[in-house]
Amino acid sequence: MRSVQKHLNELEGLGVRPVAISVDAPEVSRDFIQQAGYSFTFLSDQNTEVIRRYDLVHAGAGENGHDIARPAEFLIDTAGTVRWVNLTQNYMVRARIEPILEAARNLQ
């Protein structure tokens, strides 16, 4: 997420509006966002409705065995069509910004 923030202007210039979705409560995310200095949108999906819809649940990987979302990046166009996906099976593996930027450029 730090790399998304660092490249936010470039992403926005490519028409990408970053949005993070977390199982965390809004107040937890708010504190995290403030401490980290993030300026893009964070959404809360405490019931994992969206996370499950996109098959992103990492069952039992969270604190006290709670389900969490595994890292994933999607580029979705204005019609709601998923145009690019990067998924990982391991919640410890995070995407590098370069593939996201390349995919966004290729969708121009």
Predicted local distance difference test score (pLDDT) of residue 19: 92
Overall average pLDDT of the 69-79 stretch: 87
Q: Is the pLDDT of residue 91 over 80?
A: no
Domains and CATH numbers, the chain: 2-106 (3.40.30.10)
H helices present in 37-70, as ranges: 49-53
Of 5 and 89, more confident: 5
pLDDT tens column, 10-49: 999 999 999 998 888 999 999 999 999 999 999 999 988 9
Nearest-angstrom CA–CA distance, 44 and 65: 19
Q: Taking the CB of residue 23, how many other CB atoms lie within 10 A of it? A: 19
